[in-house]
């Protein structure tokens, strides 16, 4: 016992033990042993190192099936340490349906918070549901603002709710775009603060977004990237209250679900994923130019999976942050492509009655862990 105590009293050795817990759930349980372990596990430098070695893993995905209740599909197999998290993500779906006949639609999922839309006879409700703590219920978002101006046409060219990570919490932005009477477009960006939508930015842009860009725009490094035209991206800079236009890589154009943007957490800029036949390319725009980061040839993977619908094209459904993974549709099936491991496997197959595009929203392991509070500890909860 004396030898064990001597080892555990060594701060460096304790950090090495905690770093090998691998899963945030196990790290949290280890932190509950005593205040000393908690102080080590919640230390800022330690959390940086832990995430670099053990980045948040993909647990599964929510899928919208027309007007039916969304489903959660776990990515299997998963370690037994994550069984409780998977079970909670699956069972919490029942809380989405306030009334069985009310259609529920998932708009996004980030860091365990699911943004949903429900529409009934009274109207449309937008709410946020916490997967980890479903007992908290849903946080209802206030009605969205509608700017009044004699220089705006009736109707909205583009609107989108976006989430932004700030420390261990999320803030929500509402982006609204109207066409003006002189053919330009005015963009309004609101941020939700203390239950009220407050104007954050307002600016005029020249080019409208693509009609389907509501599914493709992303918020990355305090900039909103919105596809526009056949080969452009509108960049709305929240910090500078300005916009710019960048072109897609040379020779590339938007097609039917062949291109998607991916948020960049590891570098400044934004990732772009493009698929053409059996070739998938990943680009990074670093603020100045496009850099080709990776090229993956999918023909052999498709052959190994003995894919049916031999004439069907590969279409992009969704992508993870930092271009770590991509969900690809082909025919009636959806496949998960792990970019780093160069593996692909089927994760979903449409049922005979499915006539709609089944939109996917990945659920990642929550980061950072929510530790119990330590008094007078400036390093806790900071990442």
pLDDT given for residue 3 in this prediction: 64
**Residue 1 pLDDT > 70:** no
pLDDT given for residue 4 in this prediction: 64
Please check whether residue 256 lies inside any domain of the structure. Answer: no
pLDDT given for residue 131 in this prediction: 83
Please check whether residue 309 lies inside any domain of the structure. Answer: no
More confident: 132 or 48: 48
Query: Helix H segments across the chain?
Result: 2-8, 11-19, 24-31, 35-41, 44-53, 83-91, 299-304
Average pLDDT on 211-215 reads 48
Please check whether residue 16 lies inside any domain of the structure. Answer: yes
What is the rounded CA–CA span in Å between residue 135 and residue 110? 18
| Full residue range of the structural domain in which residue 40 is found | 1-50
Average pLDDT on 294-307 reads 84
pLDDT given for residue 138 in this prediction: 79
Q: CB neighbours (10 Å) of residue 359? A: 18
pLDDT given for residue 381 in this prediction: 42
pLDDT given for residue 67 in this prediction: 63
pLDDT given for residue 49 in this prediction: 93
pLDDT given for residue 228 in this prediction: 80
Band of the pLDDT at 256, cuts 50, 70, 90?
A: confident
Name the most confidently modeled range: 151-165, 169-183, 340-354: 340-354
| Cis previous bond, 316, omega within 30 | no
User: Which three-class secondary structure state does DSSP give residue 309?
Assistant: coil
DSSP class of 96: G
Please check whether residue 14 lies inside any domain of the structure. Answer: yes
Here the tokens at position 160 are 């989108």
pLDDT given for residue 5 in this prediction: 67
pLDDT given for residue 383 in this prediction: 36
Nearest Cα neighbor of 344 from 276, 286, 294, 298 is 298
Number of domains in the chain: 1
Average pLDDT on 322-346 reads 93
Mean of all residue pLDDT scores within the chain: 82
Please check whether residue 27 lies inside any domain of the structure. Answer: yes
Band of the pLDDT at 10, cuts 50, 70, 90?
A: confident
pLDDT given for residue 101 in this prediction: 64
Lowest mean pLDDT among 44-53, 255-264, 298-307: 298-307
pLDDT in tens, 63-114: 987 666 788 999 989 999 898 889 888 887 665 555 556 778 888 898 888 9
Percentage of residues in the chain having pLDDT higher than 70? 83
Please check whether residue 10 lies inside any domain of the structure. Answer: yes
Radius of gyration of the chain (CA): 22
Average pLDDT on 352-356 reads 66
Band of the pLDDT at 167, cuts 50, 70, 90?
A: low
Please check whether residue 151 lies inside any domain of the structure. Answer: no
pLDDT given for residue 299 in this prediction: 87
Q: Compute φ and ψ for 337, nearest 5 degrees.
A: -105, 115
Average pLDDT on 246-275 reads 88
Please check whether residue 46 lies inside any domain of the structure. Answer: yes
**Residue 189 pLDDT > 80:** yes
Q: Give how far the C-alpha of residue 201 lies from the chain's centroid of Cα atoms, to the nearest Å.
A: 23
User: Which three-class secondary structure state does DSSP give residue 83?
Assistant: helix
pLDDT given for residue 213 in this prediction: 45
CA angle 268, 272, 278 (to 5 degrees): 150
Lowest mean pLDDT among 57-61, 120-124, 340-344: 120-124
Q: Is the dihedral of CA 361, 363, 367, 372 positive or negative?
A: positive
pLDDT given for residue 45 in this prediction: 92
Average pLDDT on 120-133 reads 81
Here the tokens at position 320 are 């993870």
Average pLDDT on 178-204 reads 83
pLDDT given for residue 129 in this prediction: 85
């Amino acid at each position: 016992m004396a030898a064990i105590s001597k080892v555990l009293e060594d701060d460096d050795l304790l950090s090495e033990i905690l770093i090998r817990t691998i899963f945030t759930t196990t790290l949290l349980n280890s932190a509950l042993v005593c205040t000393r372990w908690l102080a080590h596990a919640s230390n800022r430098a330690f959390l940086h190192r832990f995430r670099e070695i053990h980045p948040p893993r993909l647990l599964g995905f929510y899928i919208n099936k027309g007007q039916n209740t969304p489903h959660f599909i776990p990515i299997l197999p998963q370690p037994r340490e994550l069984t409780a998290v998977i079970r909670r993500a699956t069972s919490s779906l029942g809380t989405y349906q306030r009334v069985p006949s009310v259609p529920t639609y998932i708009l996004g999922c980030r860091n365990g918070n699911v943004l949903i839309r429900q529409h009934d006879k009274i109207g449309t409700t937008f709410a946020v549901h916490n997967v980890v703590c479903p007992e908290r219920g849903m946080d209802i978002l206030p009605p969205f603002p509608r700017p009044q101006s004699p220089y705006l046409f009736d109707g909205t060219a583009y609107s989108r709710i976006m989430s932004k990570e700030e420390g261990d919490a999320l803030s929500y932005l509402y982006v609204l775009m109207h066409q003006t009477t002189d053919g330009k477009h005015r963009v309004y960006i609101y941020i939700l603060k203390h239950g009220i939508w407050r104007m954050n930015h307002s600016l005029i842009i020249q080019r409208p977004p693509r009609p389907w860009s509501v599914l493709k725009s992303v918020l990355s490094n305090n900039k909103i990237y919105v596809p526009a035209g056949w080969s452009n991206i509108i960049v709305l800079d929240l910090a500078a209250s300005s916009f710019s236009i960048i072109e897609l890589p040379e020779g590339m154009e938007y097609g039917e679900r062949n291109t998607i943007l991916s948020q960049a957490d590891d570098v400044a800029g934004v990732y772009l994923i493009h698929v053409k036949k059996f070739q998938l390319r990943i680009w990074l725009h670093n603020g100045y130019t496009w850099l080709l980061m990776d090229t993956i040839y999918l023909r052999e993977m498709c052959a190994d999976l003995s894919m049916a619908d031999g004439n069907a094209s590969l279409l992009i459904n969704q992508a993870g942050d930092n271009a770590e993974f991509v969900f690809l549709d082909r025919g009636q099936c959806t496949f998960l492509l792990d970019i780093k491991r160069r593996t692909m496997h089927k994760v979903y197959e449409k049922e005979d009655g499915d006539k709609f595009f089944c939109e996917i929203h990945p659920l990642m392991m929550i980061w950072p862990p929510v530790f119990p509070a330590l008094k007078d500890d400036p390093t806790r909860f900071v990442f």
